[in-house]
Amino acid sequence: MKSTWKGTRMLVVLTFVALMVQLFIPTYTYAAGTASNRYDVVVVGSEIQGVLLAKSARSLGLNVLILDPRNKPGGELVQGQMMVLDEPNDKKKRSLVQGELKNLYAGYKAGTIRTVEEITRYYEKLLREIPIRSGITIESLDIVPSPYNKQEKSIQSLTYRAKDGKTYTVQSNYWVENTDHNALTGKLDLKRIPGMEQIYKGKKPDYMAATFMLKFKNVNWRKLHADILKDYPLTNLQAKYGPNTYVDWKFGTGFSNVTSKYKPQDSQLLLRGLNITYQKDGYVLINSLLIFDVDPANPKSVESAVTKAKAEAPHILKFLQKNVPGFAKAELNGFPDYLYIRDYNRFETEYVLHENDLTSSRMFWDNVSIGGYGMDLQGTKAMPKGINVGTPDRYGLPLRSFELAAYENVLVVGKNIGATIKAYGSARIVPNTALAAQTIGIILGKESKQKRLKALTEADFKRIHQYLEKDFRIKLQK
């Protein structure tokens, strides 16, 4: 009996100890299972570009993690509801969209991925199975000399504070800046690429305006379309409504002669020409309300901008009801949670993409994307109307424009691409940088266990471009 009692007592003690371990040791679970503290790739931010990189790398066997400073994943696409999708085309009007985003654009054009719910489902499908922690704050970075290049540094580990108030430390072979506010790169000592101030010779850093997406319901799109057709030919239409005014059964643009008469309640705001997407059943999304001088790294600045935009929306509604066909009975249809941030600090990369690279249709030996689109620079408070400095044909985006110059193991994606401000006006759009991010994820998965990214050669890329085209249908040469 004593032996049995001792055994039972020992079992109780062991069970109690196991429960205490589960309570007090910080093991946590993600979509893909139990977390570790060592990864192949850690992506900071949940913009779609970094999600595509993480998805590609994970599908090829790498251990990945997304750390998101925002409280909810989705970035500009979901939280900012920036669902007016720009499409890159070459001079022959051929679409340059490749990779995973072809699925998004096909649904967008077909009208099956236009609403918030549809876009969210698409995004969540991409994110499925990828470990993610939202609402984190980066506390510190352990920076060491690079073991691969004496002229550069490496991030060895990152310590962050999670929603539970506890701090965690992770290590990674590669780190990816994927936010619109430099959550990672802002903590490094880096040389900034001049921004919009370069256009007008300003002395202080300046950025393109942010946008607050405007949502309406009960819009009579049939009437808008019919009334616009009545004003054809095109010369008459544009004389009445402004340059580039156009409406079909899915989209509308222009109306700058109309919006120029609108006077905002706040000088931080400007209603530019309308960029309209007809979602379905009378629901419309408009990308037109510019907000100047927003600092995306400052939550109070973002909160103030959102508050001002929400207060402005009813006034814009009344203006559209009176001045744009089909909007007479329109109503507001709620608000996004966040802004569409076009532009913030970019830091020097191994190669900084230049305006001449775009205008000369330059292709690079380390292409990770083929881009296109006008060099469209939206307004700032100093130059509210913005400018378009030309529309290039197709051009290449090199891997080196996504590799930080000062750090051997830090990549930048999305809006963080290394480009001069004029080149950035074109390169910044989602399809260009999303293809680059997806391609980089594939290259990491296929190459990083044999060779460092910065050690890849022109000969390596000839092989890489072959399997990208053969196995992934991504063509990166002319």
DSSP string, 401-457: GGBBSSBTTEEE-GGG--B-HHHHHHHTSHHHHHHHHHHHHHHHHHHTTTS-GGG--
Which pair of tokens denotes residue 77? 């696409």
Q: How far apart are CA 269 and CA 288, in angstroms?
A: 10
pLDDT at position 431: 97
pLDDT along the chain (478 residues), means of 10: 43 40 33 64 98 98 97 94 92 95 94 93 96 97 95 97 95 98 97 97 97 98 96 92 93 96 97 95 97 97 98 98 97 96 98 98 98 96 93 97 98 98 97 98 97 98 98 93
Domain annotation covers residue 13? no
- From residue 191, give the alpha-carbon distance in Å to each of 207, 407, 426, 454: 16, 12, 22, 19
What lies within 8 Å, CB to CB, of 115 at 6+ separation is 279, 280, 283
Residue pair 310/335 in contact by the 8 Å Cβ criterion: yes
Structure confidence at residue 36 (pLDDT): 61
Q: Are residues 43 and 191 in the same domain?
A: yes
The rounded distance, in Å, linking the Cα atoms of 105 and 444 is: 26
**What pLDDT, on the 0 to 100 scale, is given for residue 477?**
85
Residue 29: what pLDDT?
31
Q: Are residues 394 and 470 in the same domain?
A: yes
Q: Among the three residues 332, 359, 384, which one is the final residue of a domain in this structure?
A: 332
Within 8 A by CB and 6+ apart from 39, the residues are 63, 64, 65, 170, 171, 172, 173
Tell me: do 129 and 171 sit in the same domain.
Answer: yes
Residues 380 and 303 in one domain: no
Residue 234: which domain range?
A: 210-332
Per-residue burial over 196-235, b = 16 or more CB atoms within 10 Å of its CB, e = otherwise:
bbebeeeeeebbbbbbbbbbbebbbbeebbeebeeeeeee
Q: Domains in the chain: how many in total?
A: 2
- The count of residues in the chain is 478
Question: Within this chain, do residues 323 and 362 fall inside the same structural domain, yes or no?
Answer: no
* Residue 401 belongs to domain with CATH number: 3.50.50.60
CA distance 44 to 67: 5
